[in-house]
Structure 1
Amino acid sequence: MNTKYYDLINQTFYFPQEEFTLNKDELQFHGIDLMKLVEEYGTPLKFTYLPKISQNINRAKMWFRNAMEKHDYDAKYFYCYCTKSSHFQFILNEALKNNIHIETSSAFDINIVETLMEEGKINKNTFIVCNGFKRDQYVTNIARLINNGHKNTVPVIDNFEELDLLQEEIDGKFKIGIRIAAEEEPKFEFYTSRLGIGYKDIVPFYRKQIAENKKVELKMLHFFINAGIRDTAYYWNELLKCMKVYIALKKECPTLDSLNIGGGFPIKNSLAFDYDYQYMVDEILNQIKIACDEAEVPVPHIFTEFGSFTVGEAGGALYQVLYQKKQNDRENWNMIDSSFITTLPDTWAINKRFVMIAVNRWNDTYERVLLGGLTCDGDDYYNSEQHMNAVYLPKYNKEKPLYIGFFNTGAYQETIGGFGGLSHCILPQPKHILIDKDKNGIIATEVFSEQQKAEDVLEILGYNKRKEQ
């Protein structure tokens, strides 16, 4: 009988996989010896594997290039990075090596953009697509960017008042986009996205506020749905509705030449993950071209705003199983040396599942377990995988430490968790390291941030300040 953890993985999935291989009974990630990381840096440990960012950007560029050649699509493709997925400098530095553009969502994003300009990381040819609900400081910052000469800044109008607010602060002519308020899937609690302007209102809005406005040049229509880019009747229906708006608008607005299809590429959340990216890109461009050809309008340039797809698969978290609590005849709780709520908040907030695998002891027998975090919150647990309603790991043995890894965690977790601030039950944030490879494949690591100390937390809470007084 096959009872080893290796047997379980091997008979359930195709294994090894592109990023996951074994060295004897220990897991390697993109050729990185994870147990060596554990021995050097300890756990809990967050890491970012920087080369994966560039790899995914260039994969996407290749898919769009292939599709444009296949369908004789006579326009350009622009890859934007959605900064809200991860604002860290090391992420932007890696992403911007690949001739990409930037999508922003709030006021401080513009300060980051200005810093990148000063450092020469972006230039006047870089598009800055400004999304989100804009008020006060965000409007002021966008205006400053444009007034200082960055003409490829494109604020995307989210509501009827934003255009007036922008015009009050921007000197001279500027480019804009308009966001469509897409209709959501039937399972959603609301019918229409809170973001953007309704399908039926866009052409009237253009006629009323833009058509005769010599200060504004409409360049882009923005389309995005929360469910992401998936091969469903719902997605294709919304895309076709978007194209009807684009075509109607294009016939009245000669300057309109770009369609922004947002983000939404899924990332690997299970060893069983299967998604045909090239097919989806082919079909999106095919549908756009068919609609434009039938209407006898030129095909638009395509913008995307991939965030999770850019950075998600670059991140990971390693934990040690500290102890096993047998709470009844059926439930074994493996307690990790950190918290899911604080280090992987999406597992708690939206029941998100990441790739979870044992790092060592693959030749040991396995058992079904529940994973518990260290906070005293009943929701601090992880109890199932994307592909099955369970978690299986090598059997707990207090004489043989067990380490586990969560992978593809690089998007949103640090900012949602409040990096550098307070965490639930004031558990310390883990050490975070950066991993890179040179052109010869030599791996190099460096510490980005140390594990939080008691003094750091006390300072935030005001205790050290009071003591100094």
Structure 2
Amino acid sequence: MKTKYVDLIEQTYDFPQEEFALKDNQLFFHGIDLQALIHHYGAPLKFTYLPKISDNINRAKDWFSSAMKKNNYSGKYHYCYCTKSSHFKHVLNEALKNDIHIETSSAFDIDIVKHLKAEGKITDDTFVICNGFKRDQYVRNIADLVNGGHSNCLPVIDNYEELNLLTSATDKKFKIGIRIAAEEEPKFEFYTSRLGIGYKNIVPFFNKNIKDNDQVELKMLHFFINTGIRDTAYYWNELVKCLTLYINLKKVCPTLDSLNIGGGFPIKNSLAFEYDYQYMINEIINQIKNACDEAGVAVPHIFTEFGSFTVGESGGAIYEILYQKQQNDREKWNMINSSFITTMPDTWAINKRFVMLAINRWNEEYERVLLGGLTCDSDDYYNSEQHLNAIYLPKYKKDKPLYIGFFNTGAYQETIGGYGGLQHCLIPQPKHIIIQRDPDGEITTQVFSEQQTSQQLLSILGYTENKQETLINSVLASTQTLS
């Protein structure tokens, strides 16, 4: 009778897989000995495996190149990274090694752009696609880029007032895009996205506000579906409507030459994950070409804005099972030495699921469990996995430590969780390490941030003084006294 954890995984999934392998009954991730990582750095632990970022970027580039060649598509492809998925410098530095462009969402994003330009990571030729609702500082920062000669800064108009705000902030000529307010899927709470301008209003908006405006050049139509790029009737229907609009707009606007199909490539959330990326891209490129050929207009250059797809599969989190609580005859709670709410907020905020596996003790019997976090919040748990809607782990033994890993957590979790700030119930943020490979293929690691300390949290709360802030305040007080 097969009752070991390794038996369960091998019977349930096709295992091992590209990134996961088993050696000496312990889990390896992209060739990384996770148990050795734990021995060296401890747990809880978060990590970012940087090579996966470049790997996914270049996979997407190859897919689009293949699709364009297959369909004899004359337009160019531009890969953009959505900074909101992870703003960390090590992430941007890795992504920008691959001749890509970026998409921003807010005023402070532009400060990151300026920093990257100063370091030579991007140039004036790098497309900076400025999405999001734009007011005040964001508009001023975009104008700074335009005034500084960043020829490929391209703000995407989200509402009718933004064009006037931007033209008032700079005297320079600049390029723009317009975002379509796509219809949401039928089961969504709203009929139309709050982002962008409605299909039927875009051509009239162009004719009235852009056509005779010498300061502005419309280059891009931006199309994004909230559910992502999926093989559904809803997605294809919205794409057809988008192409109809592009063609109608192109006929009155010769400068329009780019179509941004947004982001939304799914990433692996289970060992059973399946998605034919090449097929989807082939179909998208084919539909765009056919629609443009039939209408007698030139095909557009294609932009994508991949955030989660770029960085999601580079991240992971490791926890130790501290204790097991038998709450009734059926429910066993394995308590981790951290919190799901604070370290992986999407698990409770949007019920998101990640790949979850035991790291050690694969050759032992398994049991069905629930996973609980350390906070006193009833929502601090993770209790659903892909195999039979339950979690199975090697049996808890007090004298034999058990470690578990959550994988593909690299997008959004730090920013949504308030990285570097207060955490629910003051559960500290775990240590975070960066994993790279040197030119010889050897794995190297470095600590990006240590686990939060009590002193750091108390300082935020005002119980202890921040020495730097105290110095600044004393200098300001002295200046006021002298004046």
TM interval, shorter chain, is over 0.9
- Partner of 1:465, secondary structure, is coil
Match of 1:182 in 2: 182
CA contact (8 A) 2:146 2:172 kept: no
Match of 1:445 in 2: 445
Task: Structure 1: state its 5+ residue gaps.
Answer: none
Match of 2:479 in 1: none
Aligned-pair CA distance for 1:386: 3.8
Aligned mates of 1:387, 1:212 — CA distance in 2: 60
Given the alignment of the two structures, is residue 49 of structure 1 paired with residue 31 of structure 2, yes or no? no
Match of 1:94 in 2: 94
Aligned residues: 469
Match of 2:465 in 1: 465
Q: For residues 66-465 of structure 1, what are the structure 2 equivalents within 5 Å?
A: 66-465=66-465
Aligned mates of 1:252, 1:466 — CA distance in 2: 59
- Partner of 1:117, secondary structure, is helix
Aligned mates of 1:402, 1:240 — CA distance in 2: 51
Aligned mates of 1:40, 1:24 — CA distance in 2: 18
CA contact (8 A) 1:156 1:178 kept: yes
CA contact (8 A) 1:361 1:394 kept: yes
- Partner of 2:243, secondary structure, is helix
Deviations 1:192-212 (A, max 9, x none): 000000000000000000011
TM-score, normalised relative to structure 1: 0.99
Deviations 1:64-91 (A, max 9, x none): 0000000000010000000000000000
Aligned mates of 1:231, 1:170 — CA distance in 2: 42
CA contact (8 A) 1:354 1:386 kept: no
CA contact (8 A) 1:174 1:217 kept: yes
| Residues 99 and 300 of structure 1: CA distance in aligned 2, closer, same or farther (over 3 Å) | same
Deviations 1:340-368 (A, max 9, x none): 00000000100000000000000000000
Aligned-pair CA distance for 1:408: 0.1
- Partner of 2:459, secondary structure, is helix
Aligned-pair CA distance for 1:388: 3.2
Aligned-pair CA distance for 1:441: 1.3
Aligned mates of 1:423, 1:457 — CA distance in 2: 8
CA contact (8 A) 2:384 2:391 kept: yes
CA contact (8 A) 1:269 1:386 kept: no
CA RMSD of aligned residues (A): 1.0
Given the alignment of the two structures, is residue 65 of structure 1 paired with residue 65 of structure 2, yes or no? yes
Aligned mates of 1:357, 1:466 — CA distance in 2: 40
CA contact (8 A) 2:12 2:387 kept: no
Aligned mates of 2:349, 2:456 — CA distance in 1: 26
Deviations 1:179-232 (A, max 9, x none): 000000111110100000000000000000001111110000000011000000
CA contact (8 A) 1:313 1:409 kept: yes
- Partner of 1:78, secondary structure, is strand
**What amino acid does structure 2 have at the position aligned with 1:99?**
D
Aligned mates of 1:400, 1:273 — CA distance in 2: 31
Deviations 1:112-139 (A, max 9, x none): 0000000000011100000000000000
CA contact (8 A) 1:272 1:387 kept: no
Aligned-pair CA distance for 1:466: 9.2
CA contact (8 A) 2:129 2:155 kept: yes
Deviations 1:267-303 (A, max 9, x none): 0000000000000000000010010011010100000
Aligned mates of 1:39, 1:388 — CA distance in 2: 32
- Partner of 1:463, secondary structure, is coil
CA contact (8 A) 2:3 2:365 kept: yes
Deviations 1:296-343 (A, max 9, x none): 101000000000000000000000000000000000000000000000
CA contact (8 A) 1:80 1:304 kept: yes
Q: For residues 15-30 of structure 1, what are the structure 2 equivalents within 5 Å?
A: 15-30=15-30
**What amino acid does structure 1 have at the position aligned with 2:425?**
C
**What amino acid does structure 1 have at the position aligned with 2:416?**
I
Aligned mates of 1:367, 1:240 — CA distance in 2: 49
- Partner of 1:269, secondary structure, is coil
CA contact (8 A) 1:458 1:464 kept: yes
CA contact (8 A) 2:157 2:178 kept: yes
Aligned-pair CA distance for 1:145: 0.6
Aligned-pair CA distance for 1:387: 4.9
Aligned mates of 2:120, 2:466 — CA distance in 1: 42
**What amino acid does structure 1 have at the position aligned with 2:200?**
K
- Partner of 1:91, secondary structure, is helix
Aligned mates of 2:70, 2:437 — CA distance in 1: 34
Match of 1:11 in 2: 11
- Partner of 2:156, secondary structure, is strand
| Residues 387 and 288 of structure 1: CA distance in aligned 2, closer, same or farther (over 3 Å) | farther
- Partner of 1:464, secondary structure, is coil
CA contact (8 A) 2:428 2:453 kept: yes
Aligned mates of 1:365, 1:336 — CA distance in 2: 20
**What amino acid does structure 1 have at the position aligned with 2:260?**
N
Aligned mates of 2:302, 2:93 — CA distance in 1: 24
CA contact (8 A) 2:131 2:156 kept: yes
CA contact (8 A) 1:270 1:387 kept: no
**What amino acid does structure 2 have at the position aligned with 1:192?**
T
TM-score, normalised relative to structure 2: 0.96
- Partner of 2:268, secondary structure, is coil
| Residues 152 and 111 of structure 1: CA distance in aligned 2, closer, same or farther (over 3 Å) | same
Aligned mates of 2:285, 2:462 — CA distance in 1: 55
Aligned mates of 1:341, 1:199 — CA distance in 2: 39
Q: Identity of aligned pairs, percent?
A: 75
Aligned-pair CA distance for 1:151: 1.0
